[in-house]
A and B are shown apart, each in its own frame.
Chain A
Amino acid sequence: MFELISNLVAAFLTLSIFSFLYKDNPFYKFAEHLLVGVSMGYAIPLAYENVFIPFVYNPIFLERRFIIIVPAIIGILYLFRFSKNLSWLARYPIVIFMGIVGMSVPMSMHSSVLVQMRSAMLPLDNINTFLIFIGTITILMYFYFSKEHKGTYGKISNVGVWFMMVGFGASFGYTVMARMSLLIGRIQFLLGDFLGLIK
């Protein structure tokens, strides 16, 4: 019974969202607003249960670890973002958070720059590494703006543009595939789980 009702609700909301493809209408608006509301309504109690209770309430009130009050107050400062006069207070937790993010800089340098550079420095013994070499050099030249892009330099940097276009094409192709997959997923639900037509 529960499965039947949940499938009915899911099918109604799916069709409501799809109705936008014909034109904007109240069913679409209803489903859209419901999604936002349900997402927030689901996340808030879950965060309360999994964050506030174990990391704020229990340590302070049950375990008497009053030092927790300090980070709790720093966290509360985020809420001053909504005050016109006191919004500057929200900068303090942001500053602390940025400091933590800074910890990732050396490791990001390693994984996103150094290792990637090393993997681009390969012996030119096959067509793939040759293409990587040409692509890397010409794209770097395209993004070097201290020299005007004309003459031989312009032609070489133009090759970089072609490499980027191929990259964007690959990204776009994957995006089309992803969007189609989402549509397929919904139609699989409507035809299979809801109507039972897919065996």
Chain B
Amino acid sequence: MTSIAPPRLPEPAPAGAAPPTSAPVLRMRGVTRVHGGGATQVVALRGLDLVVYPGELVAVMGPSGSGKSTLLTLAGGLDVATSGEVFVDGTALGRLSTKALAALRRRSLGYVFQDLNLVPALTAAENVALPRELDGVATRKAYREAVAALTEVGVAELADRFPDQMSGGQQQRVAIARALVGPRRLVLADEPTGALDSATSGEVMRVLRARCDAGAAGLLVTHEARHAGWADRVVFLRDGMVVDSTGEPSTPESLLDGDGGSTAGGAER
């Protein structure tokens, strides 16, 4: 019987549109995080190295308890490393005052977490504008930026609705718009497609990807291979360490940079 040859696929396209040329947006160096002490001590991360360059989307996968969420909260300055350092745009988060850290978080970081945390008394646009206003941006400008962000995630028509007038998927997109509003340099996402159906999930990944293609750095924690597939690089965590990676950081400099080169993983083998 005549049979068909195995699938023929085009050669892999190069990862990322334009290779970034600047310094990493996120650099984690020898980061260890220990929770508790004594017999109940839990080591969430052990000496983790990771860099994310502008334009890169990096996905983190690993079994539960491998340290994925800890990694994300440390990268976002929501938690402090027991040892090692976290740099965002070259600034060591551990050396910032609480106030300076809060300002950097509002200005440079966007979070998409499973918990949406939209303010029920504010419209979608007001929710999205909130971090910009807190950062001193004039109300009108903040609103314009908010509408732009809502447009980016495809829900501009929801601008004047309140959270309880939206479906779960719509709320999720508004939360994502809030994470992307303004000139965020680093977007952190923890299972951002949690409550969404597969078509909407694809849209969310497309938005994240587009933001990274436009120059932001993205760090995505997920257990879904199909979402991690959008990343330039997938890093695998186990027991608080990087055990493997699907590639090297996608910049030419990283090859010359000792720190950057070792982050791709496999070093612990």
Decide whether A and B are members of one complex.
Answer: no
